[in-house]
C-alpha cells in the first residue's frame, strides 16, 4: 500500500486545529508533525498531496442513512453503490445504515438481507443499526447477539402504526434489554397514533396537499413522544438517542433531560436546519420533494436547533438520507399526502452545508468536525478508528477547500435522485480529495473509488457516555 503525505494543510479535529503534515501508511494515520518541521520533512512517500491553503479533516461519519429502504410500496432510490459514491463526493467516508426487521420475522433475516444489499457494493465503509419492528421474546434475545456482532444500536418507532410502530410496553422492554446488553436505543419520536387520526381527518376534509403532511405531524406530537421516550428510558435505566429532531419543543425536552444529567442525546439533520414548511408549501405538488418525518417545521424552529448544536443539547448532525425520485415515487402521493414516500436526499451535502454554517458564523470549525465526524463516531462505537485524525486511526481524510464556490443542483450532484432539495443554493467550500483507509476515492474532484472498497464495520457499544 502506498505511503502518502498530506502537506501544508490546517488539520482540524474536534479537539484542535494545527498546521500539520499527515503521514499515511498501510491505510492508517501513521504520524502528524508540524508542517515544515524537520520530522515532517524527513518523511518519504509514494504520493504527496499539497494541502496548502486547505483544511485536512476527518472523513464525515453519517450515522443515519437509508439506502434501498422499502417505504410505502417503493424503495429509496440510492443503492449502496450509488449512495456511498455520492457520500464520498461529499466528504463522508462512513455511513451507518438501517437494516430492517419486518413484522413477524427475525432480526437475523433483516440483517442478512441488508448485508446482501451492501456487501461488495460500497465505496466507503459502512455499519448497520437494526430497526426493531417486532419486539418479542425472541427478538429481544437476538438483540444481544447483534451487539456481539457489532450491530450495537436499535431504532424504535413511536410513529407509523401497523408498519414500524412499537407501543410503550414494547419500547420499555427493548430499552430494558439495551440497558443490560449495552445497545443504544434510537427513537423516532412522534406520536403516530394521534398523527394517524389527524391524517384521516385532513384527508376527509379534502386537505390532501403535501403541506398538510407538516400540519398533521404537529410539533407537540414530536415533543410529547420525545418526553415519553425520555421517561421510558429513565425507567429502564438506558441511554437514549433521539433521531431527526426538528421541533423546538422537542429540543426543550432534550435540554431538560440533560439538565437532569440523563444520558439523552439528540440528532438533527440539514433539512431541518436549512429548509422549512415554506418548502412543503411550494405549489404544483413540488412540496412533495420535502416530505419527510419528522416533518420540516416553520422557519422559527431553526434557531432552536442551531442553539442546541451550540450548547450541546444536540450532539450530532446526520442526513437521514432516504431519497425518492419526484417522478414516479413522490408522485405516488398526488391527491393524498399520506401516500408520499417519506424521506429526502442529502448524504452528499452534509459536510458542505455545515461548512456553510461555519462560514456564516453559526458554529466553529471544530464544532463542525465534532457534530459531523467525531461525535457520531463515538456515539456509534467507531472512535477513534473513525471521526478523527490521529496516529492509529483509519486514514479516512478529506482535503477540503474552504474558499471554493459551488452551487448545489440535481444537474451536478451524484445521488441517484431526480431533484435536489437545495437546488441553486450557493455554498462556500468544497471537497477536493478524499481518502478512505488511505485509498483515494475522490482525487482532485475526480471519482477514483470503486464499489466493494467499503468494508462492513463491527462497532463497539456507544462510547459517548465514557
Chain residues in the site for Zn ion (CB under 5 A): 105, 188, 320
232-271 residues in contact with ligand URP (CB under 6 A) are: 244
126 neighbors 454 (Cβ within 8 angstroms): yes
Minimal distance in Å, beta carbon 310 to ligand URP?
Answer: 24
342 binds, among ligand URP, Zn ion, none (CB under 5 to 8 A by kind): ligand URP
Q: Which three cell numbers stand for residue 345?
A: 436526499
Residue 263, CB-side half-sphere exposure with 13 Å CA sphere: 20
Q: 447 φ, ψ to 5°?
A: -80, 120
Minimal distance in Å, beta carbon 71 to ligand URP?
Answer: 7
Positive or negative CA dihedral for 72, 75, 78, 80?
positive
Told to check if 329 binds ligand URP by CB under 6 A, we report no
Positive or negative CA dihedral for 381, 401, 348, 398?
negative
The whole-angstrom separation of Cα 202 and Cα 213 is 9
Minimal distance in Å, beta carbon 105 to Zn ion?
Answer: 4
Cβ nearer to Zn ion, comparing 30 with 325: 325
- Which of 28, 177, 188, 212 binds ligand URP (CB under 6 A)? It is 188
- Which of 153, 226, 271, 293 binds ligand URP (CB under 6 A)? It is 293
**Sole residue written with cell 464556490:** 405
Cβ nearer to ligand URP, comparing 338 with 433: 338
250 binds, among ligand URP, Zn ion, none (CB under 5 to 8 A by kind): none
Told to check if 343 binds ligand URP by CB under 6 A, we report yes
Cβ nearer to ligand URP, comparing 11 with 131: 131
Minimal distance in Å, beta carbon 36 to Zn ion?
Answer: 45
Told to check if 217 binds ligand URP by CB under 6 A, we report no
Told to check if 130 binds ligand URP by CB under 6 A, we report no
DSSP string, 170-216: HHHHHHHHHHHH-PEEEEE---HHHHHHHHHHHHHTT--STHHHHHH
For helices 248-259 and 219-236, angle between their N-to-C axes, nearest 10 degrees: 20
Cβ nearer to ligand URP, comparing 292 with 358: 292
Q: 97 φ, ψ to 5°?
A: -100, 170
CB count, 10 Å around CB of 325? 18
**Sole residue written with cell 477540503:** 400
Cβ nearer to ligand URP, comparing 343 with 376: 343
Name, in order, each residue with C-beta under 8 angstroms of 216's C-beta and a sequence gap of 6 or more.
195, 198, 199, 202
Q: Compute CA distances 51 → 79, 102, 371, whole Å.
A: 32, 47, 23
Told to check if 289 binds ligand URP by CB under 6 A, we report no
Told to check if 322 binds ligand URP by CB under 6 A, we report yes
105 binds, among ligand URP, Zn ion, none (CB under 5 to 8 A by kind): Zn ion
Told to check if 388 binds ligand URP by CB under 6 A, we report no
Of 317, 189, 187, 164, the closest CA to residue 239 belongs to 187
Told to check if 35 binds ligand URP by CB under 6 A, we report no
343 binds, among Zn ion, ligand URP, none (CB under 5 to 8 A by kind): ligand URP
Task: Please report which residue ranges of 237-333 form alpha helices under DSSP H.
Answer: 248-259, 270-274, 277-280, 301-311
Minimal distance in Å, beta carbon 72 to ligand URP?
Answer: 10
The whole-angstrom separation of Cα 57 and Cα 10 is 8
Minimal distance in Å, beta carbon 64 to Zn ion?
Answer: 5
What HEC string does 323-351 produce? Answer: CCCCCCCHHHHCCCHHHCCCCECCCCCHH
Cβ nearer to ligand URP, comparing 54 with 289: 289
39-98 residues in contact with ligand URP (CB under 6 A) are: 66
Told to check if 320 binds ligand URP by CB under 6 A, we report yes
Cβ nearer to ligand URP, comparing 292 with 442: 292
The site map against ligand URP for 135-174 (x = CB under 6 A) is ----------------------------------------
Cβ nearer to Zn ion, comparing 40 with 61: 61
Of 225, 226, 214, the closest CA to residue 192 belongs to 225
Minimal distance in Å, beta carbon 96 to Zn ion?
Answer: 11
Cβ nearer to ligand URP, comparing 321 with 367: 321
The whole-angstrom separation of Cα 130 and Cα 152 is 8
- Which of 5, 151, 202, 292 binds ligand URP (CB under 6 A)? It is 292
Residues within the interface to ligand URP (CB under 6 A): 66, 188, 244, 292-293, 320, 322, 342-343
Amino acid at each position: 500500500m502506498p505511503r502518502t503525505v498530506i502537506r501544508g494543510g490546517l488539520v482540524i479535529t474536534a479537539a484542535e486545529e494545527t498546521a500539520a503534515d499527515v503521514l499515511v501508511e498501510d491505510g492508517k494515520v501513521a504520524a502528524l508533525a508540524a508542517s515544515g518541521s524537520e520530522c515532517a520533512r524527513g518523511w518519504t512517500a509514494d504520493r504527496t498531496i499539497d494541502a496548502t491553503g486547505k483544511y485536512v479533516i476527518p472523513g464525515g461519519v453519517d450515522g443515519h442513512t437509508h439506502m434501498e429502504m422499502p417505504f410505502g410500496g417503493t424503495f429509496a432510490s440510492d443503492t449502496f453503490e450509488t449512495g456511498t459514491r455520492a457520500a464520498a463526493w461529499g466528504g463522508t467516508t462512513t455511513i451507518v445504515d438501517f437494516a430492517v426487521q419486518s413484522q413477524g420475522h427475525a432480526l437475523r433475516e433483516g440483517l442478512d438481507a441488508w448485508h446482501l444489499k451492501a456487501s461488495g457494493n460500497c465505496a466507503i465503509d459502512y455499519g448497520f443499526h437494526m430497526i426493531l419492528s417486532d419486539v418479542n421474546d425472541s427478538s429481544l434475545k437476538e438483540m444481544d447477539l447483534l451487539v456481539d456482532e457489532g450491530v450495537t444500536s436499535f431504532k424504535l418507532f413511536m410513529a407509523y402504526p401497523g408498519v414500524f410502530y412499537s407501543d410503550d410496553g414494547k419500547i420499555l422492554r427493548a430499552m430494558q434489554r439495551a440497558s443490560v446488553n449495552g445497545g443504544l436505543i434510537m427513537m423516532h419520536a412522534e406520536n403516530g397514533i394521534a398523527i394517524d387520526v389527524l391524517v384521516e381527518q385532513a384527508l376527509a376534509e379534502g386537505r390532501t396537499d403535501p403541506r398538510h403532511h407538516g400540519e398533521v405531524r404537529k410539533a407537540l406530537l414530536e415533543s410529547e413522544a420525545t418526553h415519553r421516550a425520555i421517561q421510558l428510558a429513565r425507567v429502564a435505566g438506558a441511554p437514549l438517542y433521539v433521531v431527526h429532531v426538528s421541533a423546538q419543543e422537542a429540543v426543550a425536552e432534550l435540554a431538560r433531560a440533560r439538565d437532569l444529567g440523563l444520558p439523552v442525546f439528540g440528532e438533527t439533520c440539514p433539512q431541518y436546519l436549512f429548509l422549512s414548511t415554506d418548502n412543503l408549501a411550494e405549489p404544483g405538488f413540488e412540496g412533495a420533494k420535502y416530505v419527510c418525518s419528522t416533518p420540516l417545521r416553520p422557519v422559527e424552529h431553526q434557531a432552536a436547533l442551531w442553539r442546541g448544536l451550540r450548547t450541546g443539547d444536540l450532539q450530532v448532525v446526520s442526513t437521514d438520507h432516504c431519497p425518492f425520485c419526484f417522478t414516479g415515487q413522490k408522485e405516488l402521493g398526488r391527491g393524498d399526502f399520506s401516500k408520499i414516500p417519506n424521506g429526502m436526499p442529502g448524504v452528499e451535502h452534509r459536510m458542505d452545508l455545515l461548512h456553510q454554517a461555519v462560514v456564516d458564523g453559526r458554529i466553529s470549525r471544530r464544532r463542525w468536525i465534532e457534530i459531523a465526524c467525531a461525535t457520531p463516531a463515538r456515539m456509534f462505537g467507531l472512535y477513534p478508528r473513525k471521526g478523527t485524525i490521529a496516529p492509529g486511526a483509519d486514514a479516512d481524510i478529506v482535503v477540503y477547500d474552504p474558499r471554493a464556490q459551488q452551487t448545489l443542483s440535481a444537474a451536478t450532484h451524484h445521488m441517484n435522485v431526480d431533484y435536489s432539495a437545495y437546488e441553486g443554493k450557493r455554498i462556500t467550500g468544497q471537497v477536493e480529495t478524499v481518502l478512505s483507509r488511505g485509498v483515494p476515492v475522490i482525487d482532485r474532484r475526480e471519482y477514483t473509488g470503486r464499489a466493494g472498497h467499503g468494508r462492513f464495520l463491527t462497532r463497539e457499544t456507544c462510547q459517548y457516555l465514557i
